[in-house]
């Protein structure tokens, strides 16, 4: 088996395992909306049922649309990730890692959707109870981190390509002026 698929299995497996273990603990040991302060005025462990996507996106949409969307999109996304991964070179480690993070996070949240019809969230960051960032979970962190790494890689690749094009253009101009 190629190394990139072993990396995918290892990272995605670790994310799904950690995500589901903590979610199961929260689900079985917390009452809905129960909160345990971890860092006073900044971070709580709070049991939330998220009907939407990451950070509650689409939570208020029509249930028939939301359910159909969230049950059909993750398998499509997983197939797309596998198709993209197929074309990635084995030495493109950061691309493989980022795709693996998104893959594992998608599976972690999809398991909740299939089991419960919603996702267990529990990481609750806030500032003195005045502002709450929407609660999230380990799978959400993996997805956001993976997408962030992919965006960074794309940005730096574009910067490198632009710099290389500029150097090549300058060299070509210099060569033309030397031959005339």
Q: Which residues are catalytic?
A: 121, 140
CA distances from 27 to 8, 37, 91, 144, 147 (A): 27, 17, 40, 23, 27
Question: Around 132, how many Cα atoms within 13 Å sit in the side-chain half-sphere?
Answer: 13
Longest dimension (CA), the chain: 81
DSSP 3-state of 139: helix
35-39/43-50 β-pairing: antiparallel
Query: What does the alpha-carbon distance between residue 81 and residue 139 come to, in Å, rounded to a whole number?
Result: 16
CA distances from 161 to 75, 167, 171 (A): 33, 10, 15
Query: What does the alpha-carbon distance between residue 111 and residue 89 come to, in Å, rounded to a whole number?
Result: 30
Provide the H-helix boundaries in the chain: 3-29, 63-87, 93-116, 138-179
């Amino acid at each position: 088996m190629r190394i990139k698929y072993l990396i995918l299995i290892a990272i995605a497996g670790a994310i799904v395992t950690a995500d589901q273990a903590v979610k199961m603990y929260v689900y079985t040991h917390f009452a809905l909306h129960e909160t345990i302060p971890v860092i006073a005025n900044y971070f709580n462990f709070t049991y939330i049922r998220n009907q939407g996507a990451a950070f509650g996106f689409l939570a208020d949409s029509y249930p028939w649309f939301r359910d159909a969307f969230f049950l059909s999109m993750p398998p499509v996304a997983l197939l797309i990730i596998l198709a993209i991964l197929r074309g990635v070179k084995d030495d493109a480690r950061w691309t493989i890692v980022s795709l693996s993070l998104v893959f594992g996070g998608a599976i972690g949240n999809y398991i909740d959707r299939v089991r419960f019809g919603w996702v267990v969230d529990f990481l609750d960051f806030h500032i003195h109870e005045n502002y709450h960032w929407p609660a999230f979970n380990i799978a959400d962190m993996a997805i956001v981190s993976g997408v962030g790494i992919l965006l960074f890689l794309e940005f730096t690749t574009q910067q490198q390509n632009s710099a290389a094009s500029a150097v090549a253009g300058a060299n070509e101009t210099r060569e033309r002026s030397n031959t005339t």
